A and B are shown apart, each in its own frame.
Chain A
Amino acid sequence: MIIDLPSTTTSQVNSKLVHLREQGGATALGRVLTLVIVTDDGAKTEDAIDAANDASREHPCRVIVVARGARKAAARLDAQIRVGGDAGASEVVVLRLYGPLADEGASCVIPLLLPDAPVVAWWPFEAPAKPADDPIGRLAQRRITDSAAERNPIKALEVRQKHYAAGDTDLAWTRLTLWRAVLAASLDLPPYEKITDATVTGEGDSPSTDLLAGWLAARLKIPVRRAKAVNGQGIISVVLERKSGPVELLRPDGKVGTLTQPGQPARRVALQRRANRDCLAEELRRLDPDEPFEETLKGLTKIVRGRTPVKTPTKAPAAPDDTPVVSAAEAEAVLSKKDGPKAKTAATAKKPRATSRQPAKGKS
């Protein structure tokens, strides 16, 4: 059900919500958090709402969308309430702010926050330089940005690092979880040897590649080489050198990774880019400060940047004939659960730089 409240106030929105709850019963009961999405009013806003609705199936929440419209118009608040089938397991309140009101989003959000429940702010596109000091950011326990969706992803990451505050997180970091899981699991098993050297290769403007290198540098306490790839998309490969031979995770095609370790059959691991909604659902799973992310940002300073771009063979090294590839079931599994039908489009060939602002193309 979609209810439009043109030219309204937040108290009218509130009383409408209470009214709907009395009529419909279960709606609005048991919401665990309020998610505030801050964006400019436009076509992309709906994508962000869709992602939030999907995530709400795991975390029932009230979604407040602050859509900033034309600054030149007269001050006006248009609201729209969506419940039931149009809102996943959440209730969505879209606030369209015009004129001087557009910069006063926080004042419209405060009356609609759920009592006592945590608040999460999400900037799906451009984010303020200091999210923690932003009026809406100050209301939130957790502030989610997306470097990969900004105009200059690498620059955005630098800004994040400079202004990090406890509770900040970035979707470029969330997109790394699968890579990190595979790498961590590969070191759970013998031989238990120290990593002496590490190299991460990826696209020049992929913030996730930088973060992966930063994470390795922070955890392994060694300088990590970050090489630019001339072909491929997002992160291309990670090589961890050990005495007995390197652990290699290579993803030339942006979909399936191959994990090679000395003395073990090569294992294929699906590593598609994760859809935004999966990343968002993961973010909402925990609301406390993400210390590993903070350390990773610090680790960015320990990255050694390679000058010459590296070309990666588009094919993974074939496993010897007598050791059949152990299958990608395991990792495919990780992703296929998470990647819905949208996964395919998200994983198609790299788009030119200009489109890197689109959320669905987030670098992973």
Chain B
Amino acid sequence: MTRSWANPLRDERDKRLPRIAGPCGLVIFGVTGDLSRKKLMPAIYDLANRGLLPPGFSLVGFARREWEDQDFGQVVYEAVKQHARTPFREQVWDRLAEGFRFVQGTFDDDTAFDKLAETVAELDELRGTSGNHAFYLSIPPGAFPVVTQQLARSGLAKPTHPDQWRRVVIEKPFGHDLASARQLNKVLNDVFPEDSVFRIDHYLGKETVQNLLALRFANQLFEPIWNANYVDHVQITMAEDIGLGGRAGYYDGIGAARDVIQNHLLQLLALTAMEEPVSFRPKALRTEKIKVLEATKVIGPCAETTARGQYLGGWQGGQKVPGLLEEAGFDKNSTTETYAAITLEVNTRRWAGVPFFLRTGKRLGRRVTEIAVVFKRAPHLPFDDTATEELGQNALVVRVQPDEGVTLRFGSKVPGNQMEVRDVSMDFSYGHAFTESSPEAYERLLLDVLLGEPSLFPVNEEVELSWEILDPVLKHWQTAGKPEGYPAGTWGPEAADKMLSRTGRHWRRP
């Protein structure tokens, strides 16, 4: 057998042939959780429906419930029926369901893990998964050490043959500060080498985020102005209109900055601000992301350049909603922020002097994620002052979700016999120009895990750098008392508006 085998039937010019994952199986821990039911199971079905899963693909669930394989199958069935993107087909389902197994047990139960090892070995034998397995840890990070140790003890973590692979998939939060992130990485890397750890940041699986790279590096139009000479500032927003009812256990004490800014928004910043990678190979991409994260720092003083808030009860979208402190499970004196905004600088020649404003919040005006690159005003306007009163700054907005696409704002003459310039939008919408339904982020990411394609997963170093960026803000907030309240359904606390007006700017209304 030789490593340099070139499949004669493959041809890189042959773009019709799909990449199907090799024989493998997936083990999900915490299979009864929300994420698993709403995202993972439907994504697996959708992948099967698209024909991208290998023959004999197997799915093993591990949880405390006393289920049989059939009960597990029933749960997956309901999840798929309810949440899958592609139409339900009995035939696809039947064949997929043949590979379902369930192992009952707790994380500290040696026999359960031995049972799991047996199940996995049996699948290798029976369904030809060939010893390739991914372990999806959809569980609280506190349980990572015991689970990874169990996997190591039962021999599941190590492949028995150099051709086989074992991979571990984890979700945020990757720690709650730099020290805990390091600790977590150590726990994982003790058992799984870094190249087999896949950290899911589902934003990176979104088509629009990947399109950002195409937009920047495949076009001549944008790159020349993508720098401090033309860009005034950048706003990255992730707003949600939902509250935190029922998520107290996870969210209290964590807050918006740790939950969203540390991972999603800093990753979006990295993709927006990074230099052109020399190639799209995973390593080259990471190199650039790491470079830009290393150059990123919080602009101080934090009292003036950051803002945080906590939503108050009120009427939102025709419904009466409780404030955070009235939500079940939250401490009445909780200082957990549900809105966070910070100001960053990227200390490179390209971005010197351009502030990056990042904001995120719950119970805001509407659900939206976008990256807005706001340009400087034209240095000279050969019009009367009255002609350009309504002219704002040019902006390029990448709409990440919903209504994926790109908006370009620029000035245009208002029809009439007077010279009057006003802002208009030019719109590119993904839904119009391409498919009606593009794959879910989890489909792409799960397939990448099975294919062993790491480009879209942040590595250890990126996680730690992100914490280094955020830690000074978190430290400041610790001693800064309570977050300011903001009514549900608005665009955040007053402090956030002040934070920008100090620099003569204002938040875009997304």
Contacts and interface: CB of A to CB of B under 8 A. Distances in A.
B53 A324 contact: no
Nearest to B126: A324
Interface in B123-151: 126-128
Interface stretch (B67-75, B84-92, B274-282, B457-465): B84-92
A184 interface: yes
Contact of A337 (B8, B49, B127): B49
B16 A180 contact: yes
A215 B69 CA distance: 44
Interface stretch (A1-9, A14-22, A98-106, A325-333): A325-333
Interface string A186-210: 0111111001000000000000000
B384 interface: no
Nearest to A216: B9
A334 to B, nearest CB: 3
Given A177-B16, A330-B55, A334-B50, A265 B435 contact: no
A183 B99 contact: no
A225 to B, nearest CB: 17
A44 B89 CA distance: 29
A287 to B, nearest CB: 11
B332 interface: no
Interface residues of A, number: 53
B48 interface: yes
**The 4 nearest A-B residue pairs measured at CB:** A329-B95, A334-B51, A30-B432, A192-B5
B91 A57 contact: no
6 contacts: A26-B432, A178-B51, A181-B51, A267-B56, A336-B89, A337-B50
Given A190-B1, A329-B94, A220 B8 contact: yes
Interface in B3-27: 5, 7-11, 13-18, 20, 22-23
Interface string A301-345: 000000000000000000000001011111111111100000000
B432 A29 contact: yes
Contact of B18 (A30, A59, A89, A181): A181
Interface of A: 26, 29-32, 57-60, 89, 174, 177-178, 180-181, 183-185, 187-192, 195, 216, 219-221, 259, 264-265, 267, 269-270, 282, 285-286, 291-292, 324, 326-337
Contact of B95 (A181, A264, A327): A327
Interface residues of B, number: 47
A333 B9 contact: no
Given A60-B433, A292-B14, A336-B92, A327 B56 contact: yes
A332 B92 contact: yes
Contacts of A292: 11, 13-14, 16
A282 B449 CA distance: 26
Contact of A219 (B2, B11, B95, B96): B11
**Helix, strand, loop or mixed for chain B's interface?**
loop
B17 A184 contact: yes
Interface centre among B10, B17, B22 (most CB of A within 10 A): B17
B27 to A, nearest CB: 18
A262 B13 CA distance: 30
A333 B95 contact: yes
Contact of A327 (B15, B86, B99, B163): B99
Interface centre among B98, B99, B432 (most CB of A within 10 A): B432
B48 A329 contact: yes
A329 B45 CA distance: 10
Given A329-B55, A336-B91, A337-B89, 12 more contacts: A30-B429, A60-B434, A180-B14, A181-B18, A184-B10, A187-B7, A192-B1, A219-B11, A267-B55, A326-B128, A330-B48, A333-B92
B163 A190 contact: yes
Nearest to B430: A30
Contacts of A190: 1, 163
Contact of A187 (B9, B89, B126, B433): B9
B230 interface: no
Contact of A188 (B22, B51, B89, B434): B22
Interface centre among B16, B99, B435 (most CB of A within 10 A): B16
Contacts of A174: 16
B439 to A, nearest CB: 12
B48 A333 contact: yes
B54 A192 contact: no
A82 B89 CA distance: 31
A182 B428 CA distance: 37
Contacts of B428: 30
A46 to B, nearest CB: 22
Given A329-B96, A333-B48, A187 B432 contact: no
Contacts of A291: 13
A79 to B, nearest CB: 24
Nearest to A288: B15
Contacts of B50: 333-334, 337
B435 A219 contact: no
Nearest to B5: A192
Interface centre among B15, B48, B95, B435 (most CB of A within 10 A): B95
B436 interface: yes
A180 B94 CA distance: 25
A330 B53 contact: yes
Given A326-B127, A334-B51, A181 B17 contact: yes
Nearest to A289: B13
B311 interface: no
B388 to A, nearest CB: 28
B351 interface: no
B9 A183 contact: yes
B29 interface: no
A355 B89 CA distance: 30
Nearest to A178: B51
B7 A329 contact: no
A337 B50 CA distance: 6
Contacts of A180: 9, 14, 16-17
Nearest to A221: B8
Nearest to B50: A337
B124 to A, nearest CB: 11
Contacts of B91: 270, 328-329, 332, 336
Contact of B435 (A57, A216, A267): A57
B8 A219 contact: yes
Contacts of A59: 434-435
Nearest to A187: B7
A59 B18 CA distance: 19
Contacts of A57: 435-436
B57 interface: yes
Contact of B17 (A89, A177, A264): A177
Contacts of A181: 17-18, 20, 51
A333 B49 contact: yes
Contacts of B14: 180, 292
Contacts of A332: 89, 91-92, 95
Contact of B7 (A29, A188, A337): A188
Contact of A192 (B2, B56, B127, B128): B2
